[in-house]
Amino acid sequence: MTAAIQTTALTKTYGEARALDAMDLTVPEGSVFGFLGANGAGKTTTLRLLTGLARPTSGSVQVLGRDVATAGNAVRSEIGFLPDVPGFYDWMTAPELMRFAGGLFGIGRTVLEARVEMLLDLAGLTGVATTVGGFSRGMKQRLGVAQSLVNAPRLLLLDEPTSALDPMGRKDVLEMIASLRGRTTVFFSTHILADVERVCDTVAILDRGRVVAHAPIDELKARYGAQKVVVEVTDGADELAEEIGRRTWAGAVARKSTAGNGGNGSSGPIEVTVTDVEAAQREIPALVAARGLGLIRMDAGEMGLEEVFVELVGGDRR
């Protein structure tokens, strides 16, 4: 499969600050790609480099097989872009803005009118007569999504597309993104993990300008899911959690409260992130037995994307 986006050792510095640090990234054509990262991880910088709005300090960016630095209009005519805070001409109405955006692509009048009508309907802006200056943040975001699709792009780049939307607007945008699967490559940056889990098939996690994980979403969850053990005992869970936390194979130890435990912390499952699953499976039952506790259950828990994310980038922020 060809790559819609390919970056090689992509680096961007602002003075002393390194926003992107030799980032290698491949986005397969046709995928719905989630680009995850905490605020300040380098997501927006990456999108600015992909769209040619900023120039890399070093490294290269290929979009749809062309070098962004030299391809100019050839790349721009095939992409759609929604920035994190979209800027519009406040004096235009939504249909005028859409016609303007389509006109910049040289789309013929008949096709353009049909697309404008369809996309405004999709954005829930049909019949809105006020100028964009009077729009709410959510309306602007939906208009931003609509204008990014006006050229039926081969590659759609969305920077935090759902961040300003209410739950219904968010649902609509996510459904729209999901509906593009197989027709358009969608590259979508966000820090909302639930959105990525819902619509993306592949994900990259960015931390301090570096890609720390890059895989199909199921593979990523499976890879990290095998490294979590959940233990539930009849009582004395706090002491057991403490004891487990002292083991060399134990990473983060978390207590999950359960209904009816009275909040005394003596029961409820213990979640342990482990570096050596086999050692954990051998030693935890021994620890439970040595304390004379009753073992209710012990299993490998499946990590959600949120936990994978925290595990990968949370490190010293916990």
Partner 1 sequence: MSGNVVFARKEALEILRTWRIWVLPGILLFFAATGPVLARYTPEIVSAFAPDQLGGFQIPTPTYLDAYAQWVKNLSQIALFALIIIYAGLVSGESKSGTAVLVLTKPVSRSAFVVVKSAVHTLFYAVVLVLGTLLTWGLTAVAFHTAPGSPLWSSALVSLVLGELFIAVMTLLSVLIGSSAGAAGAGLGAYALLSIAGMWKPLARYSPAGLGNDATALAAGTPTDVLWPVVTAFALMVALVAIAAALYRRKDL
Residues that bind partner 1 (CB under 8 A): 48, 51-55, 72-73, 76-77, 79, 81, 83, 85-89, 91, 100-101, 103-106, 147, 151
Say how far apart CA 261 and CA 166 lie, in whole Å.
36
51 or 62: whose CB is closer to partner 1? 51
For residue 81, the minimal CB distance to partner 1 (Å) is 4
Q: How far is the CB of 170 from partner 1 (least distance, A)?
A: 22
| CA–CA separation, 155 and 129 (whole Å) | 30
CA dihedral for 143, 147, 153, 159, sign (positive or negative): negative
Cβ proximity to partner 1, 112 vs 217, nearer residue: 112
Tell the smallest beta-carbon distance from residue 44 to partner 1 (Å).
11
Give the containing element (helix H, strand E) for 205. Answer: strand 202-207
Q: Which is nearer to partner 1, 88 or 187 (CB)?
A: 88
Q: Please, are residues 177 and 33 in contact by the beta-carbon 8 Å criterion?
A: no
Give min distance, CB of 187 to partner 1, in A.
13
Please name which of 300, 308, 251 lies closest in space to residue 274, comparing C-alpha atoms.
Answer: 251
Cβ at position 102, least distance to partner 1 in Å: 9
Left if phi > 0, otherwise alpha if psi is -120 to 50, otherwise beta: which for 25? beta
Query: How, if at all, do strands 3-14 and 17-28 pair?
Result: antiparallel
| Closest separation in Å from C-beta 202 to partner 1 | 23
CB of 242 to partner 1, least distance (A): 51
Strand partners, 156: 80, 186
Q: CB of residue 177 vs partner 1: minimum separation in angstroms? A: 18
Task: For the chain, give percent helix, strand, coil, nearest 5.
Answer: 40, 30, 35
Q: Which of 106, 127 has the CB closer to partner 1?
A: 106
By C-beta, is 189 or 267 nearer to partner 1? 189
Q: Cα(148)–Cα(104) distance, rounded to whole angstroms? A: 12
Compute the least distance from the CB of residue 84 to partner 1, in Å: 10
Complete DSSP assignment for 242-300: HHHHTSTTEEEEEE---TTSTT-SSSS-EEEEES-HHHHHHHHHHHHHHTT--EEEEEE
The closest of 259, 278, 263, 270 to 233, measured between CA atoms, is 270
- Strand-pair partners of 274: 250
Q: Which is nearer to partner 1, 55 or 183 (CB)?
A: 55
CA distance 158 to 147: 12
Segment (H or E) for 48:
helix 43-50
**Which residue, 5 or 101, has its beta carbon nearer to partner 1?**
101
> 85: which DSSP letter?
S
Closest to partner 1 by CB, 81 vs 309, is: 81
Nearer of residues 6 and 51 to partner 1, judged by Cβ: 51
